[in-house]
Amino acid sequence: MEKKTSGDAPAPQREAEQLLNELDRLLPSNPTKVAPPAETYHLWQASQTPVDDDTTIRRLKKQHLAFYVGQHKGQGAEGLLPPALALMQHGQTVYAPFPLFLGETPDRLLTPEALIHTLINTAAPDDDQREMFTRYLAAIGRRLTKDFRHISEPLEAPELIRKLAGELLKQHGSRNGDNHPAIQALDAFSRSDLPGGTFFGFGPHTPRQLIPAAHAAQWRQQVRQALDRLEELTLAVNGLIENATSPELLSQEADPPFGDSIDFGKLDEIVRSVKRGASLSAQRLERLTIIAESLNRWHHILESDAHTRDFLSRFIATDTRANATHDAQDEIIRLIRDYHMAELEVKHQFDDAIHGDLFRHFSLHMLSDTEARLIPPTLLFIDAEQAAEHQEALITRLLSGEKVKIIVLAHTLFKDKQLLPLYAWARMAVSLNRVSVVQAPLSDLADVWPRVLEALAEDGAAFFSFYAPASRVNEFLYSGSAAGARFFPVYAFSGNRDKALCDRFYISDTIQPRNAWHTHTLTVRHDSEETTLSCSFTAADFLLLHPDFTNHFYRLEADSPRDHLIPLAEFVQQEDDTEARIPYILSADADGALHTLLVDDFIARHTLAIHKDWRLLQEWAGIDNSYVARALRETRARIEADAREEIEQLKQHYEARLREDRAQLTEEIISNLAAGLLSDEMIRVGSGMTAPVAPPPEEKTEADTPAEPDPPVTDEKEEEEETLALEEAYIDTPLCTSCNECRNINSQMFAYDANKQAYIADVHAGTFKELVMAAENCPVKIIHPGKPVNPDEPGLEELIKRAEKYNG
Amino acid sequence: MFGVSIDNILNLDQKYYTMEDYQSDIPRWCPGCGDNGILAAAQRLLREEQIAPEKTVFVSGIGCSSRFPHYMNTYGFHGLHGRALPIAEGIKIRRPDLHVFVNMGDGDCFSIGSAHWIHALRYNMNMVAMVHDNNIYGLTKKQASPTTPKGLKSNTTPKGAILNPLYPLCTTLGVSNVSFVANAVEWIPELLYDIIRQGFHHKGLAFIRILQRCPHYTPHVFDPLLNEPDNILLLSHENGMHISDPIKKMYKNVEEHDPSNMHKAREYAAMTDRIPVGILYRNENIPTYDDLRKPEKPNTPEVIHAALEQEFDKFGINPKTA
């Protein structure tokens, strides 16, 4: 209607209409009516009714079997995702552990979410502003993960955070006014001292940037500790040189400063002293200059992380720089030599005759252990394809005893349909038993970071295997899946042979090391009901993500029978395969509907292989170790056998005694009976109407008692508890009209629930009298005082009588 | 294996409002007053619907019930005697983005405010009107109100009220354009909440009369209902109230009533032996005045801001002439 009139209406009216339309769009059309929340992504399963026609069943089963053995192509599984992953992919939340924040000390590697938490905890203002402030910081965190997760160059963290906070401030300040407390807090925050550090983005470059940076910081710290006198020595040596060359200093040392007038005598002295200084020893001065240069070089290197990183970049091995690494190593040895010379020089103990030769032939072998450790390891970055080509060379280097840290980064785990040997290399490196190994997808890097640092700092070789997939579903989810499906488990192994084997292993908790597969508990809706489903993320689930394997999955017909199927996770664990059943996994489509996917023999075999590998790893790490289990089993069997033997002996012993007693008792009874019958009284009674009856056979009770403890005792107790429960005070909370009457009497005893309806919070917080008063005052009579909890309260009898009315 | 995202951990996209967020002051009503239950139901409604306090207005007239806005941590307007409805209408027409609730007493609405009451029903604006009917003027210490039962002694009727009381439900159902009429009692909190909730979701004026005990001045007036649950008649229907089993156990009188049936509704409204509780009438198709007379420029903060900016611009100084 509005459109019709707008054509010929006068301009102001048109404008007004336009404005109105715009406002209509801004405002909800009927604000009192809350729109139902948009249906969020959830898993659901349509109800299924299997066919009961025998021929169809037979045909379907045959078809499934044909698929399993590879004679029938799968229908494909495009668009299907494992349920757990589908929830993450289609759900609202975005999971992105990047950009990583590396603090000033290298041991702080934080995901954005951890960083934001730290910031909130350190910088959050008072309680009333805290929430708003936290929200702003969370917004900053979201910006970080959204726009900066793929940065190709490291960015300085404080500047970036300050910039984002500034933008947020501008945006929200205009809306809420500058005086809003949270805005002020944000303002103060953006100007405060933020923790120093650097952000690193996700990509093939990540390890190349992150590891040298961490290594540089670590090494710098180490050098500073080892050469703790460096500062002092540098000052002293520079002082010596200046002494030898600077006339002014000499003159100042000689006498207190003189006034304006020129003292010619003093001048003459100075000139002479300079000459003397120069003649001190040209050789020594030269030596000192060299030493000073070396020490200054140290200072330059250690000045900042950036300088250290530049220096250490010569230890990153590439083909073209093989010699450079060697030279750099020599330089460090030279620098250490000069440091030692400086120590002697400063004490004026350097004697060329004694020390000259030694220092001229100074080499690696003359370094102390601590000093030898200062020579940084060679970092070798290669990608998985290169590594596959040069496998032997890799092993040789790992075994050479050389300090080398090999960092392998894979972009894919497959070459065509073959699994790359990356997985095996890490395991092989473990089996060498003296190499530290860390394996993790980049998305879990923060988790294994302490192990990475440990491996970098250790003396021997180390092998790092990282995995950064090219974007597929979501690269983080995808790499997380590789870890959960055990294709690329997150683990570390320490090369330090002093520790026990299981202590040297570390399997990340994020992948549930004790389970065969990473298991999710998912909520699934059937019509209107919700059920939970425990879902294993198997290797097949991971293969499902890979487009090359879609033909190996078969989407099960909705009406198919299911008795011949078995979940894949159980399939790989069953010991005997006498009962031939076809394995399947679950998957979800874009609408959240669950589908059953049959997998074929190829997938099942791969899954089994991955499962076996994982079991091996678990055993190494001391989880469900089969040797331990066997030893336990044997020990238990032995103990049980011993116990059984003992029981048998005891039994025989007691049976023998029982037999003895029984014989003796029978004799006694007979003799008593005879005595009774023959007694005077019996004779008097004559007929024997009230004849005393012999006691019940005692042997029976005696035999029974040890076997059965008295059961009636427990029964009694239960009854007691039941009656107690009836005597407890309670309120019919749903009927409460929130009138506050009871809370006016005692606000400790009575409390409101989330719907502002009263319940008894603590019956001990007040007297029974108060309880009865509240019951009497309650306008809707829903307080039931029960029985008093304190039997010593005065006037109880009357109160109990008053309470009776409300206990019914 | 996937970790958790920031959104999951902090869950800060939306604040979750609790009952405390809607509570501003401790109510100063007498102990045992039924207004407390209505307050709790209103707060629970806002909590369940998660409506921001700043998007809500409670308007009241004069009386005990009209202290309501003081205890809600929302916008509020404590108006003049009987004038709550016109104020609420004014708010709604200029600020259609706000949720408007009106709380009146029986004296307030049915006596001095009766003209506004009738016309508010006819205007049928999108809001919820609750009448706290305790059959007496409580704040001014016991004077007879239009709903005071015949024979009740009060300060203005020392020998007992002479007239038959007004049947507000009948009156309401007689006005044209009426779109939602419900009767509630404050001492069944579950039903009270449900009725207010359905009124809130109704498009148009939801008129809810709530029988409310006054423990001080009319302590026994509802005794026939309180002591004899059979005197209460619950109206249930698939389009109306769904009554839970525990309630059915206590109040055995339940009848099926289709809220779209006006004739039946009028029958229930005129009942004197039993009190109907539930939705008597509902019709979503009646046009609302705020839709018919939508303002060209609602006074949302953005619009006010733009207008102010425009005004301020007039005071700009031209550097060339200065």
pLDDT digits (tens, 9 = 90+) for B268-295: 999 988 999 999 999 999 999 988 988 7
Chain A CA closest to residue B125: A32
Q: Which residues of A touch B43 (CB under 8 A)?
A: 756
Residue B281 · residue B259 · CB < 8 Å: yes
Residues of chain A under the 50 pLDDT cut? 1-7, 28-38, 249, 276-279, 688-725
Helix (H) or strand (E) holding B78: strand B75-78
Annotate B134-195 with DSSP letters as a single string.
-SEETTTTSEE-TTPPTT---SS-TT---SPPP-HHHHHHHSTT--EEEEEETT-HHHHHHH
Strand order in the sheet with B99-105: B75-78, B56-60, B99-105, B127-133, B205-211, B180-185, B275-282, B232-236, B254-256
Per-residue CA distances from A494 to A214, A507, B192 (Å): 19, 12, 67
Of A39, A140, A141, A40, residue with least CA distance to A92 = A40
Question: Does CATH number 3.40.50.720 belong to domain A728-807?
Answer: no
> Are B298 and A23 in contact (CB < 8 Å)?
yes
Question: What is residue B182's predicted lDDT score, i.e. its pLDDT?
Answer: 97
Q: Round to whole Å and give the CA distance between A752 and A738.
A: 8
Question: What is residue A298's predicted lDDT score, i.e. its pLDDT?
Answer: 80
Exposed/middle/buried for residue A714 (C-beta within 10 Å: 0-12, 13-18, 19+): exposed
Q: Is the ipTM of this complex over 0.95?
A: no
> Are A31 and B294 in contact (CB < 8 Å)?
no
Residues of chain B under the 70 pLDDT cut? 1-14, 316-322
Q: Which residues of A touch B99 (CB under 8 A)?
A: 31-32
A599 forms beta bridges with A553
> Are A739 and B37 in contact (CB < 8 Å)?
yes
Of B94, B252, B269, residue with least CA distance to B175 = B269
Question: What is residue A723's predicted lDDT score, i.e. its pLDDT?
Answer: 47
Structure tokens that stand for A330 in this block: 């020599």
Q: Which residues of A touch B42 (CB under 8 A)?
A: none
Chain B CA closest to residue A136: B12
Q: Round to whole Å and give the CA distance between B153 and B22.
A: 38
Pairing mode, if any, of strands A404-410 and A414-415?
A: unpaired
Q: How far is A177 from chain B (nearest CA, A)?
A: 13
> Are A34 and B51 in contact (CB < 8 Å)?
yes
Q: Round to whole Å and give the CA distance between A500 and A461.
A: 19
Question: What is residue A703's predicted lDDT score, i.e. its pLDDT?
Answer: 45
Question: What is residue A384's predicted lDDT score, i.e. its pLDDT?
Answer: 80
Question: What is residue A691's predicted lDDT score, i.e. its pLDDT?
Answer: 44
Q: Round to whole Å and give the CA distance between A454 and A546.
A: 34
Amino acid at A764: H
Per-residue DSSP letter, A53 = -
Question: What is residue A711's predicted lDDT score, i.e. its pLDDT?
Answer: 47
User: Which string of b and e fits B182-193 if b means at least 16 CB within 10 Å?
Assistant: bbbbbbbbbbbb
Question: What is residue B154's predicted lDDT score, i.e. its pLDDT?
Answer: 94
Check CB contact of A567 with chain B, cutoff 8 Å: no
Q: Round to whole Å and give the CA distance between B271 and B253.
A: 14
Find the CB nearest A135 among B12, B19, B126: B12
Question: What is residue A23's predicted lDDT score, i.e. its pLDDT?
Answer: 58
Please enumerate in sequence order all residues whose Cβ is within 8 A of that of A88, keeping only pairs 6 or more positions apart, or say none. A95, A474, A477, B2
For chain B, give every domain's residue range: 15-289
Amino acid at B56: T
Where would I find the beta strands (DSSP E) of A293-364?
Answer: 316-317
For the stretch A412-456, pLDDT in tens is 877 777 777 776 778 888 888 888 888 888 888 888 888 888 888
Residue A495 · residue A434 · CB < 8 Å: yes
Question: What is residue A369's predicted lDDT score, i.e. its pLDDT?
Answer: 77
Annotate A701-748 with DSSP letters as a single string.
HHHHTTT---SHHHHHHHHHHHHHHHHS-EE-GGG-----HHHHH-TT
Please enumerate in sequence order all residues whose Cβ is within 8 A of that of B81, keeping only pairs 6 or more positions apart, or say none. B61, B62, B63, B108, B112, B113
Please enumerate in sequence order all residues whose Cβ is within 8 A of that of B132, keeping only pairs 6 or more positions apart, or say none. B34, B35, B38, B63, B64, B65, B103, B104, B105, B106, B186, B210, B212
Question: What is residue A376's predicted lDDT score, i.e. its pLDDT?
Answer: 82
Question: Radius of gyration of chain A from Cα atoms?
Answer: 42
Question: What is residue A456's predicted lDDT score, i.e. its pLDDT?
Answer: 85
Q: Which residues of B touch A134 (CB under 8 A)?
A: 10, 12
For the stretch A663-690, pLDDT in tens is 888 888 888 887 777 766 666 655 544 4
Check CB contact of A443 with chain B, cutoff 8 Å: yes
For chain A, give every domain's residue range: 100-200, 219-257+265-372, 378-511, 518-612, 629-704, 728-807
Find the CB nearest A734 among B9, B100, B190: B190
Question: What is residue A570's predicted lDDT score, i.e. its pLDDT?
Answer: 83
Find the CB nearest A510 among B3, B6, B201: B3
Question: What is residue B58's predicted lDDT score, i.e. its pLDDT?
Answer: 97
Count CB neighbours of A280 within 10 A: 14
Strand order in the sheet with A594-599: A553-555, A594-599, A582-588, A565-567
Of A43, A47, A46, residue with least CA distance to A80 = A43
Q: Round to whole Å and give the CA distance between A784 and A722.
A: 17
Classify domain B15-289 by CATH number. Answer: 3.40.50.970
